[in-house]
Amino acid sequence: MKKVFGLGVFGLIVALLLYYAFVYFVTYSEGTRSGELIKISHKGVIVKTWEGEISQGISGAQIFTFSVLDKDAVVIEKLREYQGQYVKLDYVERYATFFWLGDTKYFITKVSKEQSPHVRN
């Protein structure tokens, strides 16, 4: 009986580790979005995550919400610097997320400042 219980616990742990590895390493899609960076914040009570939003329309009708992993310190610094400006974001979309990674399934991997299409020189 102890052997069956031990194998059951071992199987459960392996299944949880495989699920975590799948969610963390396997991406659903990759892409690029552009818009005005309207929010970047470090939020949470117990676990703090970096969350942000860009407005993809003139009236703010299309809002793209995203998360940034703590390990991407360069991306976080650039987002804080570009607050209120037009940016281009490269992201990966995951199948799911965990509360300690972020609120969304979209994780920013690169950010660059862009010329706004609404302002003409």
Residue 45: CATH number of its domain: 2.40.50.140
Report the number of distinct structural domains present in the chain: 1
User: Is residue 82 in a domain?
Assistant: yes
CA distances from 71 to 6, 13, 58, 87, 116 (A): 36, 26, 32, 21, 29
The answer to the question of residue 98 being in a domain is yes
Measured in residues, the chain has a length of: 121
> Residue 3 — very low, low, confident or very high, per pLDDT cuts 50/70/90?
confident
Whose CA is closest to 47, among 65, 70, 26? 70
In a domain, 7, yes or no: no
Domain presence at residue 118: no
Question: Which residues, 6 or more positions from 72, have their beta carbon under 8 angstroms from its beta carbon?
Answer: 108, 109
Residue 59 is predicted with a pLDDT of 65
Q: Hey, what are 10's tokens?
A: 């071992």
pLDDT score at 120 = 64
What pLDDT score does 60 carry?
A: 62
> Average pLDDT for residues 49-76, to the nearest whole number?
89
Q: How far apart are CA 98 and CA 117, in angstroms?
A: 35
Q: Is residue 93 part of a domain?
A: yes
What value, to the nearest 5°, has the Cα angle with vertex 39 and ends 108 and 98? 45
Rounded CA Rg of the chain? 19
Q: What is the pLDDT of residues 50-59, one digit of tens each?
A: 999 999 876 6
Residue 55 lies in a domain: yes
Asked if 56 contacts 35 with a C-beta cutoff of 8 angstroms, the reply is yes
**Which pLDDT score is estimated for 111?**
96
Domain that holds residue 54: 29-113
- With beta carbons less than 8 A apart as the criterion, state whether 43 and 99 touch: no
